[in-house]
Amino acid sequence: MSATALIRSAPQVAPQRHLLSAEAWAALPAALIDDPEMAFLGLWAGLGCVHAAFLHPEDGVPLIASCLGDSYASLALARPGAGLMERAARDLWGVDAVDAADRRPWLDHGRWPTTTPLAARPPPREGSAPQQMFRPVEGEGIHIIPVGPIHAGIIEPGHFRFHVQGEVVVRLEVRLGYVHKGTLGLMLGKSPRAAVPFAARVSGDTTVAHAIAFCRAAEAATETPPPPRAIVLRAVMAELERLANHLGDWGAICNDAAFAWPLARAGLLRERVLRACEAVFGHRLMMDRVLPGGVALDITAEGAATLRAMLAEISAEWPGLQRVYESHASLQDRVVGTGIIAANLAARFGAGGVVGRASGRGFDARRMPGYAPYDAVDFNVPVLPGGDVDARVRVRVAEVDAAIGLIHRLLDTLPAGPIYTPLPIRAGEGLAMVEGFRGDVLHWLRLDDGGLIEACYIRDPSWFHWPLLEAAIEGNIVADFPIINKSVNASYSGVDL
């Protein structure tokens, strides 16, 4: 039986969710191995249950498999991207993938007052904190370089454990969880309106995309679509966010090759975007501008003109910056062939966004599952096969061009009408995917009869990017780590939650 058929044969408990028996779930790993097309979207737990979301390209819509119990069969062999999520689910809910090869703690560093904080009754912590355990590396002249959690630059905290032989990295192991803020727990028991600030602060650089995904999940749960004008305004903000971040990343990648001038120019362009956002939407990062049921504020004709003027300024300078990137051999030498993420690895991990598209995986949530208003506008989704730093740079460059075009077209077609519809207070369950600048963001939530969040999950695309960063650095020299890391640019806060 195919994985889709296996899930669909179980009783349906929500529009996109089926409740599998333990036996049916146990058959899932083998079915997934037989069906490599079935994309894995995320795995999380609840009170005595586990959920996993998938998307089969033939279906085009996400499908959730659930199973009751405090333990379940691991999916990590069939879908390696599930590995970290299973470890996180055990730390947060105490729901355990009993047969997983890697059962080390992930988010729990032994410093919370209780263990399994999202369990029904979290037990107080007993005994000493578990020590960090890294996979051993054996060989002649192996040297360990521990880095972090506090890094040398202005960047989020995480620990990188390099095993090197000479200058060559034999293995990198990333340990995260340092910025775990208990976000999911804080959202429980709140209305979507009260919880959206947390969605907007899962990863500050993706505040718009996360907020849209959360709001669309809440709107799906209450079957209340937002007004058309709000849908287009959300997309304008999401594309501005993509534009600002890609400009910043492009400059920062060049800077990590010790070429500071592109960072200076791209930083200036990024600043122009942020100032236009502040002028038009009242906040440089457009935080808290997306609300369940619509958006917080409308734009005026002058606002649209401000955005268009800013886009024109970027369009005027951007091609010249590309010629500089193309024409400097010292820069090309650093980015071409560096930090290759093989296409089969990107596919196996289900990598989305820039990382996936630079390694031949063309997935884009705006196309599939697809959502308004992207179904009504034409836009380019660049896909390159190379998988190196250069490919990730080029995908970003093409996406900057695409975002500029999209914002112009969205402003052209901005429908008139209201920008907000209050959500009814009712029970329901919803899932939504939004293409953020890093890749597909997934939010799922269930509301109780009082319209309060009973269960929720947030999956940043970085979950699949961190393991690929570990793979990308292998065989490269230590000095190339910053540029490879920046070219992937995974979020720490996004996965630490």
Q: What sign results for the dihedral spanned by CA atoms 370, 389, 270, 379?
A: negative
Of the pair 169, 196, the CB lying nearest another protein is at: 196
Give the binding range for another protein (CB under 8 A) out of 106-114, 385-393, 445-453, 464-472.
Answer: 106-114
7 close to 67: Cβ distance less than 8 angstroms? no
Q: How far apart are the first and last CA of the chain?
A: 35
Shorter beta-carbon distance to another protein: residue 98 or 260: 260
**Nearer Cβ to another protein (99/271):** 271
Largest CA distance in the chain: 69
Q: Does 185 bind another protein (CB under 8 A)?
A: yes
Among left, alpha and beta (phi > 0; psi -120 to 50; other), residue 370 is left
From the list 149-157, 230-238, 386-394, 429-437, the region that binds another protein by CB under 8 A is 149-157
CB of 270 to another protein, least distance (A): 7
Rounded to the nearest whole angstrom, what is the least distance from the CB of residue 181 to another protein in the complex? 5
Q: How far apart are CA 387 and CA 390, in angstroms?
A: 8
Q: Which of 11, 153, 329, 378 binds another protein (CB under 8 A)?
A: 153
What's the DSSP call for residue 486?
H
The residue from 56, 103, 109, 426 that contacts another protein (CB under 8 A) is: 109
CB of residue 156 to another protein, shortest distance in Å: 5
Residue 69 in contact with another protein, rule: CB under 8 A: no
Return the residue of 106, 160, 198, 481 that touches another protein, per CB under 8 A: 198
Q: Are 197 and 274 in contact (CB under 8 A)?
A: no
Instruction: Give the binding range for another protein (CB under 8 A) out of 98-106, 211-219, 322-330, 351-359.
Output: 322-330
Helix (H, G, I), strand (E, B) or coil at 443: strand
- Is position 482 an interface residue for another protein (rule: CB under 8 A)? no
Nearer to another protein, 101 or 152 (CB): 152
What angle, 0 to 180 degrees and rounded to 10, lies between the N-to-C axes of helices 301-327 and 228-255?
A: 30
Could you tell me the smallest distance in angstroms from the CB atom of residue 486 to another protein?
12
Q: How far is the CB of 390 from another protein (least distance, A)?
A: 18
Binders of another protein in range 265-294 (CB under 8 A): 265, 267-268, 270-271, 274, 284-285, 287
Query: Please, which residues bridge with residue 444 across strands?
Result: 431, 457
**Residue 132 binding another protein, by CB under 8 A:** no
193 interacts with another protein by CB under 8 A = no
The β-bridge relationship of strands 71-72 and 294-295 is unpaired
Query: 168 or 194: whose CB is closer to another protein?
Result: 194
Q: How many CB atoms lie within 10 A of CB 120?
A: 9
Q: Which is nearer to another protein, 201 or 367 (CB)?
A: 201
- Give me the least distance between CB of 108 and another protein, in Å please: 9
Please tell me the distance from the alpha carbon of residue 307 to that of residue 313, in angstroms, as a whole number.
10
Which of 377, 368, 334, 365 lies closest to 487 in space, CA to CA?
Answer: 334
124 part of the interface to another protein, by CB under 8 A: no
Site for another protein in 199-238 (CB under 8 A): 201-205, 207
Query: Which distant-in-sequence residues (6+ apart) come within 8 Å of 277 by Cβ?
Result: 237, 240, 244, 283, 284, 285, 286
Please select the residue that binds another protein; options are 15, 157, 337, 369, rule is CB under 8 A: 157
| Binder among 114, 344, 380, 413 for another protein (CB under 8 A) | 114
Region from 138-146, 151-159, 376-384, 427-435 binding another protein, contact rule CB under 8 A: 151-159
Rank residues 25 and 492 by Cβ distance to another protein and give the closer one. 492
Q: Does 59 bind another protein (CB under 8 A)?
A: no
Distance CA 424, CA 450 (A): 10
| Angle (CA) 74 493 432, round 5° | 65
Between CA 159 and CA 165, with CA 160 as vertex, the angle to 5 degrees is 150
Near another protein by CB under 8 A: residue from 30, 297, 324, 452: 324
- Interface with another protein, residue 320, by CB under 8 A: yes
Angstrom distances, CA of residue 248 to CA of 13, 96, 272, 395: 43, 40, 11, 14
Q: How far apart are CA 184 and CA 166, in angstroms?
A: 43
Nearer to another protein, 54 or 463 (CB): 463
- Say if residues 364 and 436 touch (Cβ distance below 8 Å): no
**Contacting residues toward another protein, per CB under 8 A:** 107, 109, 111-114, 117, 149-150, 152-157, 177-183, 185-186, 197-198, 201-205, 207, 248, 261, 264-265, 267-268, 270-271, 274, 284-285, 287, 320, 323-324, 327-328, 491-493
